[in-house]
Amino acid sequence: MAKNKRENLIVKYDSVSDSLLLIAKKGKEESFEEIAPGVSVEFDKKGNVLGFEILKASSHLKRSLPGLARKAKEFALAR
């Protein structure tokens, strides 16, 4: 089985623009692809994923957090 190298995820939030940046790997962004409205994946020159950018992050998170919290609670109770 191949071992995965675990890297630290850097999380940055800009309250002025309400954008959330999740940086998985340092590097120069060469391109990006919008995978959902306001959610983009950023790539380097070789096509490696550098991170994700979420625009209007507060509205995205308001919709997502209740479901995530519910799943976390279910998981904790099942253990």
Q: How far apart are alpha carbons 45 and 28 in whole angstroms?
A: 8
What pLDDT was estimated at residue 29? 94
Cα angle, residue 32 at apex, residues 29 and 33 outer, rounded to 5°: 165
What pLDDT was estimated at residue 65? 63
Q: What is the pLDDT of residues 2-40, one digit of tens each?
A: 444 556 888 898 989 999 898 989 999 999 999 888 889
Tokens for 63?
A: 């919709």
Q: How far apart are alpha carbons 40 and 18 in whole angstroms?
A: 14
Q: In which order are the strands placed within the sheet that holds 39-43?
A: 10-14, 19-23, 49-55, 39-43, 31-36
Q: Within the chain, where are the H helices?
A: 57-78
pTM (two decimals) = 0.67
